[in-house]
Structure 1
């Protein structure tokens, strides 16, 4: 009873500290989310899917302090021709953003959409609500109720360039609650890029509906801000012969929790989700993935690599659920960590739950140090220890980075990881 009271008090305090946006078409979804949030309560350390990650700073009423980062490093994706959409401390910045007009796509602000017949009415909060079963994700429900901005993207064709969501962090105690809805029509295709520190504390939900034959490519970079605390959620549903591919690179950050909930509901669909992270010191990074196979002949891949040093912590919780009738499922899951000292730790919870008999599913998780034989080989050929460590670290991360299909973006990610390793030394 005491734990329930603590959860209720924390939830009501958070609700009281936020203003419920007065929408039109999204009002029913927000009201439903608020009711669900009160029922489930904010996450506590005793909750099964939070036992490895303390949710405290994500659920306190005031955003913790995080210094604004000033750097002369060129922004990621600068060499890519893209449509750039800028948010500053969780608010759309039209002056810094590009013209939102692009063939094959319509883009609107969540805060500015006011039609009661808006297409997003059938998506906003829908996949998030579905993703609460069997595992509750209350921070996503909080987001659906209180999100103040975001983008609504309807992809009707194949836009000629990617869309880049760029986040800026100008206040040392800002909260940002963003909610993005993305709908891909049959046969449509889009690449979505995300980067930049959004706020001192960031809560983001992305709902992606992928129709038959459509393809969604997502590449995200989280980093540079050492004190950032972020909880992100992706909820997606795939139609027949559709594709979902998502990759996240994370460097720095005090606390990062990335949830991804994927439903393969159309036959012959493919879902790949991967990530590479490097953390140093007071760094806690948690990837929590739940993939449901609910159709025939679908494929899914989870590939996650974490490099940890100076007491950093990495967490991976990944599950593949194969429902009855989802025959010929091919599910692959691998999570590995490279510990560069004896103080860091990697906590893994891989799971398979299978109710079909014609499947090929596998999972594996390993944790270890730099290969001594490989290190000796490089050192014996005159490679300095720090450089040898970086080379072996990049080789370790390569399997995850290779999940990025676009060669230019893949090389950019590798270069950023190499630069981080060089700056931080061995």
Structure 2
């Protein structure tokens, strides 16, 4: 009873700091999300899926100030021909954005979606609500109820240019919420890029509906050296023979919680979710993944690698649920950390829950230091110790980065990782 009362008190204080958008077809989903939120309350450390991560700074009424940093590397993905959509502290920047028109897709803003016949009406909040079981995700419900803006992307063909969502942080006390909805029609394909620190505190939801034979590719770069606190949620539903691939690079940030909830509902679907994170000092990074196999012959991969130093903390919670009729499932999960000193820590909770009898599922989790034999081998051939350490670190991260299908994007991520390692030699 005391915990329930505390959760309600925390929720009431947080809601008092917010103003709920009103008007148009999202109102019904927002009301439903708010009702669910009142029933579950905001997360606390005693909740099972928050025992490794303190949610306090994500749930308190005001955002903790985050200092601003210049990005002297230039914008990531900046060399690519792409459709650019820019948000500054959660507010759409029309001047910095491309025209929201392209062949094979339509793009609208959530803040401007008012017509009752909009395609996103039956999808907004639907996957988020489904993803609340069996594990409650209160911050996602909070987002559905209160996010004032986001993009609604309907993909109808083979989109040649990536859609690039760029987030900028200009206020040290900004508190932003965005909610994106993406529908990829049968046989269509799209690549979505995300990058930037977004805000001092950021809460984002992305709902992705991938129809039969469709492909969705997603590459996200969270960084660089920024005092952000962020909670991101991705909810995906896959049709038959569809493909979903998502990769996230995280470089620093005080506290980051990335949740990914994937449901494979059509036969022979493929879902890969991967991440590489590098953290130094006051850094806490949490990947929480839940993949449900509910169809025949599907494949899923979870590949997460974390490099930690100077007291940084990494968390991985990953689950594969295979339902009774999901025969011939191929599920793979690996989470590993490379600890560059004795002060850092990696906390892992891998899970398998299988009700079918014709499956190939595996999971593994390891944590360790640099391979001294490999380091000695490189140094004996004239490679300086710092350079040798960086090479071995990049090799450790390679399995996760290789999940990016596009070679140019893969090279860009590797360049950013190499630059981070060079800056943080010590």
Same fold, TM exceeding 0.5?
yes
2:15 alignment partner, SS class: helix
Q: Which residue of 1 aligns with 2:352?
A: 352
Q: Which residue of 2 aligns with 1:209?
A: 209
Asked whether the equivalents of residues 68 and 226 of structure 2 are also in contact (C-alpha less than 8 Å), the reply is: no
Q: Which residue of 2 aligns with 1:257?
A: 257
Asked whether the equivalents of residues 316 and 335 of structure 2 are also in contact (C-alpha less than 8 Å), the reply is: yes
What pairs with 1:42-53 in structure 2 (closer than 5 Å)? 42-53=42-53
Once the 2 structures are TM-superposed, how far is the Cα of residue 72 of structure 1 from its aligned partner? 2.5
Q: How many Å separate the matches in 1 of 2:423 and 2:225?
A: 14
Q: How many Å separate the matches in 1 of 2:163 and 2:29?
A: 26
Q: Which residue of 2 aligns with 1:219?
A: 219
Q: How many Å separate the matches in 1 of 2:112 and 2:267?
A: 36
Q: How many Å separate the matches in 2 of 1:393 and 1:114?
A: 49
Q: How many Å separate the matches in 1 of 2:262 and 2:225?
A: 28
Asked whether the equivalents of residues 197 and 226 of structure 2 are also in contact (C-alpha less than 8 Å), the reply is: no
Once the 2 structures are TM-superposed, how far is the Cα of residue 71 of structure 1 from its aligned partner? 2.6
1:316 alignment partner, SS class: strand
Once the 2 structures are TM-superposed, how far is the Cα of residue 216 of structure 1 from its aligned partner? 0.1
Q: Which residue of 2 aligns with 1:398?
A: 398
Q: Which residue of 2 aligns with 1:366?
A: 366
Once the 2 structures are TM-superposed, how far is the Cα of residue 36 of structure 1 from its aligned partner? 0.4
Q: Kindly indicate whether residue 109 of structure 2 is the aligned counterpart of residue 96 of structure 1.
A: no
Q: Which residue of 2 aligns with 1:177?
A: 177
Asked whether the equivalents of residues 258 and 286 of structure 1 are also in contact (C-alpha less than 8 Å), the reply is: yes
Q: Which residue of 2 aligns with 1:62?
A: 62
2:135 alignment partner, SS class: coil
- The answer to which of 245-254 and 115-124 deviates more is 115-124
Asked whether the equivalents of residues 197 and 225 of structure 1 are also in contact (C-alpha less than 8 Å), the reply is: no
Q: Kindly indicate whether residue 388 of structure 2 is the aligned counterpart of residue 388 of structure 1.
A: yes
List per-residue Cα deviations over 1:48-92 (Å, max 9, x = no partner): 000000000000000110011123321000111101000000011
Q: How many Å separate the matches in 2 of 1:225 and 1:250?
A: 10
Q: How many Å separate the matches in 2 of 1:346 and 1:166?
A: 30
Once the 2 structures are TM-superposed, how far is the Cα of residue 23 of structure 1 from its aligned partner? 2.5
Query: TM-score, length-normalised on structure 2?
Result: 0.99
Over aligned residue pairs, what C-alpha RMSD do you find? 0.6
Q: Which residue of 2 aligns with 1:422?
A: 422
Q: Kindly indicate whether residue 143 of structure 2 is the aligned counterpart of residue 148 of structure 1.
A: no
Q: Which residue of 2 aligns with 1:294?
A: 294
- The answer to which of 320-329 and 218-227 deviates more is 218-227
- The answer to which of 115-124 and 231-240 deviates more is 115-124
Query: TM-score, length-normalised on structure 1?
Result: 0.99
Q: Which residue of 2 aligns with 1:280?
A: 280
Once the 2 structures are TM-superposed, how far is the Cα of residue 4 of structure 1 from its aligned partner? 1.3
1:111 alignment partner, SS class: helix
Structure 1 residues not aligned, in runs of 5+: none
List per-residue Cα deviations over 1:333-390 (Å, max 9, x = no partner): 0000000000000000000000000000000000000001001001111111111110
Once the 2 structures are TM-superposed, how far is the Cα of residue 302 of structure 1 from its aligned partner? 0.3
1:253 alignment partner, SS class: coil
What pairs with 1:109-188 in structure 2 (closer than 5 Å)? 109-188=109-188
Once the 2 structures are TM-superposed, how far is the Cα of residue 225 of structure 1 from its aligned partner? 3.8
Q: How many Å separate the matches in 2 of 1:347 and 1:82?
A: 37
- The answer to which of 111-120 and 54-63 deviates more is 111-120
Aligned residues: 426
